[in-house]
Amino acid sequence: MAYRIMIGPRMWVFGDLKELMAKATPPRSGDRLAGVAAETAEESVAARMALADTPLKRILAEPLIPYEADEVTRLILDSHDDAAFAPVASLTVGGFRDWLLSDAATPEALGALAKGVTPEIAAAVSKVMRNQDLIAAARKCRVVKRFRNTIGLPGTMAVRLQPNHPTDDRKGVAASILDGLLLGAGDACIGINPASDNTAVIGDLMKLVDDVIARFEIPTQSCVLTHVTTTLELIRRGAPVDLVFQSVAGTQAANRSFGVDLAMLREAREAALSLGRGTVGSNVMYFETGQGSALSAGAHHGVDQQTCEARAYAVARAFDPLLVNTVVGFIGPEYLYDGKEIIRAGLEDHFCGKLMGLPLGVDVCYTNHAEADQDDMDTLLTVLAAAGVSYVMGVPGADDVMLNYQSTSFHDALYVREVFGLRRAPEFEAWLARMGIAGPDGRLLPGQAPRLLGAARELAA
């Protein structure tokens, strides 16, 4: 069914909801590459006006990818909570935007609504919102998850300590872990992207991080970001697995290109839960996403990349994860060309994920061939902190020497904590105080924990 809107003397016609949502999306290179973007700024404005007048119920009734052809679509529709959706069911997309920015949209009301929000509804409303709207609405969403500490409490922001090494060298990894801990990072997790896919190497890295956590009784969780099948095999071998990682996307075909499906993710979650390694909670999954992944796999079905990204959040939501993050600028300038597009995408992803009830973090990042720089990342990090981001990355020097991209550093996290008065996960912050790394106010102390250094050398030997 077509969507029409008259603007002045001209009638604009959009063939279906898929076309309308694509052309209502703020400009980005991925949609231009896919051939679904608006051809002119005028057409984009017309699409946003038509989308704003579209009832939310109509979006529910018009799947962008057919139910029978895609298990992600089936997941979205079969798990939709009609009772949670009821308070906003009579609204249009524009009316929903107004409600989200009103005093009626309290943290409690947004929490109750989350399971009634489909990814297509979240994506649609984001397309008619300014950046400040995305910040204001996301800030009101509260999503709290637990494993060995508590992520997402109001007034907190966690950091994933990312100690990657180009050869998975134990001493190099240990040095980066020590660097991060002494700078107060690591409450989201200590998470390694391995250079190797060798099961023995990955198991050794798991053991190294587990030894650090156990020896110093650190209230955090470990993760080696390998394929879910490798993690399952290591669980069978008795490896110390805390969090199960997997990259996911918003269509069945894109997930197939990653070598996964929903049944495999269910198996992995059950396996991790059976280990019972959490101390304050049982959120055992860690997912990463990114705008453009479905397009790069040739699996986007003509759906714009931001809506495909929101659909990935439906996949993540089904498995009650501890951590989800969009690696926002990692896939490259073919999908997000410059700093402006990366900043907008980061705010969209964060808003959509939080609105859907996910503990959304953001890897504030770019590749070296993008038209972006660290000033753009400073801007995105700052506005995400204002929006209440759950966690960000902590990379030594902000330069990942294994993945070869630019992210955020341990010092960048200290900057936003200082500016916004943000604390760490409470269990982790109490540990920093016990170790003499930080004071009771969370500020780092000089002469930090010399015994940590000696023991780290032993563990890396």
Residue 262 carries which side chain, given as an amino acid letter?
Answer: L
- Phi then psi for residue 3, to 5 deg, are -115, 130
Q: Are 9 and 286 in contact (CB under 8 A)?
A: no
Q: Which two tokens stand for residue 120?
A: 């297509």
For residues 301 and 64, the answer to whether their CB atoms sit within 8 Å is yes
| DSSP strand pairing (145-146 vs 150-151) | antiparallel
Q: Which residue has the tokens 């341990």?
A: 410
HEC secondary structure over 287-309: EEECCCHHHHCCCCCCCCHHHHH
**Residue 237, annotated as binding a ligand:** no
Is 325 labeled as ligand-binding? no
Does 291 show up as a binding residue in the annotation? no
- Spatial neighbors of 317 by CB under 8 A, at least 6 apart, are 356, 357, 358
Sign for the CA dihedral angle at 380, 385, 390, 396 comes to: positive
Q: Is 160 annotated as a binding residue?
A: yes
C-alpha of 187 from chain center? 16
19 is annotated as contributing to ligand binding? no
Reported for 266-271, long-range contacts at CB under 8 A and 24+ positions apart, including other chains, are 266/319, 267/232, 268/228, 268/231, 268/232, 268/244, 269/244, 269/319, 269/320, 271/232, 271/235, 271/244
Tokens representing residue 262 in the block? 């929903």
Q: Is 352 exposed, middle or buried (0-12, 13-18, 19+ CB in 10 A)?
A: buried
Alpha-carbon span 323 to 245, nearest angstrom: 9
User: According to the annotation, is 149 in a ligand binding site?
Assistant: no
363 annotated as ligand-binding:
yes
- List 326's β-bridge partners, or say none: 289, 362
Q: How far apart are CA 105 and CA 85, in angstroms?
A: 13
Selection from 193, 203, 229, 208 nearest residue 365 by Cα: 193
CA–CA dist 393, 161 (Å, integer): 6
Which residue reads 């997402």 in tokens?
152
Does 252 belong to an annotated binding site?
Answer: no
288: phi then psi, degrees, rounded to nearest 5: -120, 145
450 marked as binding residue:
no
- Is there a binding annotation on residue 129? no
| Positions at the binding site for substrate | 160-162, 193, 288, 363
| Positions at the binding site | 160-162, 193-194, 246, 288, 296, 363, 402
| Positions at the binding site for adenosylcob(III)alamin | 194, 246, 296, 402
